[in-house]
Structure 1
């Protein structure tokens, strides 16, 4: 049912000049011009996104189903899914030990860095000159990976600092980087130490956001430090812990520079990981198809691990 205009409204509408009434076509043209201007401002970012992400991603997808030595584009030879099946065929080292090493490296890095950063951040939150302590722990982040790797490599040598401390304590020397059983854990320790600074910054900021009234109420109820930490601090740090967990895991899964500096994937394949294997396949063996297929497998692993982490933290949040 259409509402009829009152006589007063009809008179005002008739008295209004046609030129003063808003034109639907004019509004449409104005919105179109605004959209064009907006896209013109976005064009540089969209062009950068297309050139450096969309096109390489599409080219990598083509290479993952082809054989190519990395020289002329005309030499690309389509082979279908053979590169993917070859990664998981009998006798292939990609699934074990390479992909297994990648997951173990990421898990070890997350476990050590997260546990250490939570402890350090909690201690810093109780100290004076907190900015100084945060800066000191952040210094490894701004140090180049090559420098960090070489320093720790010399520290792990039989005559290095770490073995010197062990010998002074009456223990024997350990071939940290030469023994297949200790090489990967040794590099994990270095990666966790080097990446803990950013986690400490995030967690100290998270601790600052916890209302002080919660701690005062816990003190009035007679709760001890351990109970306060487990019942108040950790649950309220969940968003910060989720961010640290995801970023540390992504860094661990894509780690390359530290391993190539310290061990070059050895001894044998004890420290060989997916990113290093991709580099070897492409630049050492000239097999860009296998390298691209391995990159997509690693992408799927990273995506699945991230989704699982988000699901676990979300479920814990709902349970809480």
Structure 2
């Protein structure tokens, strides 16, 4: 017997106007539309959240505006002007004359000042990175890692004046280092008085003082490497040297990139340690670097235009070297 049309046992078919459109797969394709008020309310909520976010960021943005953007604009103005300081009414525009004076024939800015800057930064990065990598690899295998990392980090929290003065006395003819050399039967060396040894002597001190931060970063990177890679390599019979070159270094590349960038920028901008240990970049210009030359031109000779032009040249050098380092590391990552 056929069931009646109004029998509740059978579901009634929806009216044709309310049926969802069906694809060949049998799934409904119609999407329910939201009411017109929902997108408008969503936009209002997002706008309110954006305003609140900018209110929280306002102190940081104000800090960067006052201490970064405004000084950068003022330095650009000084680089194109002549100014002796203090009185803003004395600023006289001179165009590119300051940059022409920096690279004029007989100027010491390109050689030896900018050359010393690059050598100083490169030597600091090489010594600090190599030393930190070896020490971090050893510390990662020792007990009480926190104690060793703190011990190597202490030079970084010590003031530059204290570090420079201690090493300056150690480099003296009657200092500790020459005493050790004399004990070994070697003659004394005039570390800071000889133009050939003055810059390498300061590079060693800068590398020693900055090794602690590199060790801290590299030990964190070593700790983040999963141990399963080392276990698999040991099962395959790989030695310590193969594990270091094939596993540790490739996986430590992000930390190495960060250390290289920060150390190189710090080396290019450094001048306080040289000022403490050699005074004015002596003997002669053997230890004079770009940042120290900017300081002397501005505060000793009162030529703020030359100092501003040198600052922009140093900024371009830092930008180019940083971009080159990022490109090299990115290329190695793509090859790997």
TM-score by length of 1: 0.91
Map of 1:14 onto structure 2: none
Measure how far apart 1:26 and its partner are. 5.6
Map of 1:288 onto structure 2: 304
Does residue 262 (structure 1) correspond to residue 277 (structure 2)? The answer is: yes
Rounded Cα–Cα distance in structure 2 between residues aligned with 1:142 and 1:44: 27
- Counterpart among 204, 210, 214 of residue 199 in structure 1: 214
Rounded Cα–Cα distance in structure 2 between residues aligned with 1:235 and 1:120: 18
Rounded Cα–Cα distance in structure 1 between residues aligned with 2:36 and 2:131: 68
- Counterpart among 237, 254, 259 of residue 222 in structure 1: 237
Rounded Cα–Cα distance in structure 1 between residues aligned with 2:223 and 2:273: 33
Measure how far apart 1:45 and its partner are. 2.5
Measure how far apart 1:36 and its partner are. 3.6
Rounded Cα–Cα distance in structure 1 between residues aligned with 2:199 and 2:17: 84
Asked which structure has the greater CA Rg, the reply is: 2
Rounded Cα–Cα distance in structure 2 between residues aligned with 1:35 and 1:127: 48
Map of 1:67 onto structure 2: 82
What's the CA shift string for 1:170-207, capped at 9, x where partnerless? 11100000000000000000000000000001111111
What's the CA shift string for 1:77-131, capped at 9, x where partnerless? 0000000111011010000000000000000000000000011011111111111
The 3 A distance-change label for structure 1 pair 23 and 124 is closer
The 3 A distance-change label for structure 1 pair 6 and 98 is farther
The 3 A distance-change label for structure 1 pair 6 and 267 is farther
Count, aligned residues: 306
Measure how far apart 1:48 and its partner are. 2.1
The 3 A distance-change label for structure 1 pair 40 and 133 is closer
Map of 1:125 onto structure 2: 140
Q: What CA RMSD, in Å, does the superposition of the two structures yield over aligned residues?
A: 1.8
Measure how far apart 1:31 and its partner are. 4.6
Measure how far apart 1:212 and its partner are. 1.4
Q: What are the ranges of 5 or more consecutive residues in structure 2 without an aligned counterpart?
A: 1-15, 21-34
Map of 1:112 onto structure 2: 127
**Secondary structure of 2:143's match?**
coil
- Counterpart among 158, 162, 176 of residue 161 in structure 1: 176
> 1:227-246 alignment to 2 at 5 Å?
227-246=242-261
What's the CA shift string for 1:35-69, capped at 9, x where partnerless? 44443333332222212211111111011000000
Tell me which moved more, 40-49 or 282-291: 40-49
Q: What are the ranges of 5 or more consecutive residues in structure 1 without an aligned counterpart?
A: 10-19
Does residue 190 (structure 1) correspond to residue 205 (structure 2)? The answer is: yes
In terms of fraction of residues, the more helix-rich structure is 1
Measure how far apart 1:221 and its partner are. 2.1
Does residue 298 (structure 1) correspond to residue 314 (structure 2)? The answer is: yes
Does residue 309 (structure 1) correspond to residue 314 (structure 2)? The answer is: no
